[in-house]
Amino acid sequence: MEELKNCPFCGGKAVFNTVSNSSAHHGVGFDFEIKCEDCGVKLPNRYKVEFSLTGSGGINPLYDDRKRAVEEWNNRP
């Protein structure tokens, strides 16, 4: 996965910020946003990741917005 570029406004570090989380019997999910740690600027969109545990003990991604979130942050005008 591509890394988050620094903030286009202040040059600060951009981070994945968890907004909320949810769980169901089969998996767990996080809603997150991308924001700058320094000035607090963030993308207007919310994103989501969801995982479940596989029968063989692995982590199975059910839903994964991380790549899209990174692209949208990095290509922000």
Residues that bind Zn ion (CB under 5 A): 7, 9-10, 12, 36, 38-39, 41
- Smallest distance, Å, CB 70 to Zn ion? 16
- Smallest distance, Å, CB 49 to Zn ion? 23
| 31 touches 45 (CB < 8 A) | no
* Total residue count of the chain as it appears in this document: 77
Q: How far is CA 23 from CA 27, 28, 31, 47, 51, in A?
A: 6, 4, 11, 16, 10
Q: Which is nearer to Zn ion, 34 or 49 (CB)?
A: 34
Q: Which is nearer to Zn ion, 9 or 63 (CB)?
A: 9
- Smallest distance, Å, CB 34 to Zn ion? 11
Q: Which is nearer to Zn ion, 49 or 73 (CB)?
A: 73
Q: State the Cα–Cα distance between residues 58 and 36, nearest whole angstrom.
A: 32
